[in-house]
């Protein structure tokens, strides 16, 4: 039996805009994925705890508030501490190009900015899971 890709989508911090992440959640569901959504205003600790308990293939964090250089290092460190350093982490939202490069350098697998078509997001996520291999 093949199991769908499991992904947790999260909004972290004071950013209250969830229209985009809900559109993405719906698109991923329609692509056959199991999407866990945790709601607005989560802390990095809450998101990482949820992702580890749910053992998702991918943790996707959407940020429109500019705090990516604070949030992602924290998330990556917490994941490693909780024995889930191999989890695929992706970022979405609006952020400057130099931050994108820095995030990828620290271990974020992919950064998908505004205007990324849903199909491109789906293809990217599927590719990342295939590249990771069985677990």
Chain residues binding other proteins by CB under 8 A are 1-4, 6, 25-26, 28-39, 42-43, 45-46, 49-50, 52-55, 82-84, 86, 131-135
Q: Which residues contact 64 (CB under 8 A, 6 or more apart)?
A: 15, 17, 20, 93, 94
Nearer to other proteins, 36 or 69 (CB): 36
Q: Smallest distance from the beta carbon of 129 to other proteins, in angstroms?
A: 10
Nearer to other proteins, 39 or 117 (CB): 39
Q: Smallest distance from the beta carbon of 5 to other proteins, in angstroms?
A: 9
Distance CA 62, CA 15 (A): 9
Comparing C-alpha atoms, which of 115, 1, 124, 11 is closest to residue 57? 124
CB 72 within 8 A of CB 84: no
Nearer to other proteins, 97 or 105 (CB): 105
């Amino acid at each position: 039996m093949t199991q769908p890709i499991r992904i947790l989508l999260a909004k972290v911090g004071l950013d209250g805009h969830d229209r985009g992440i809900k559109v993405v959640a719906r698109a991923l569901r329609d692509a056959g994925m199991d999407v866990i959504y945790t709601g607005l205003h989560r802390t990095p600790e809450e998101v990482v705890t949820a992702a580890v308990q749910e053992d998702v293939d991918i943790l996707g964090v959407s940020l429109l508030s500019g705090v990516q250089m604070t949030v992602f290092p924290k998330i990556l460190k917490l994941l490693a501490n909780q024995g889930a350093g191999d989890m695929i982490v992706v970022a979405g939202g609006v952020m400057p190009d130099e931050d994108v490069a820095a995030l990828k350098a620290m271990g974020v697998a992919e950064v998908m900015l505004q205007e990324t078509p849903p199909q491109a997001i789906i293809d990217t996520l599927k590719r990342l899971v295939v590249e990771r291999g069985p677990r």
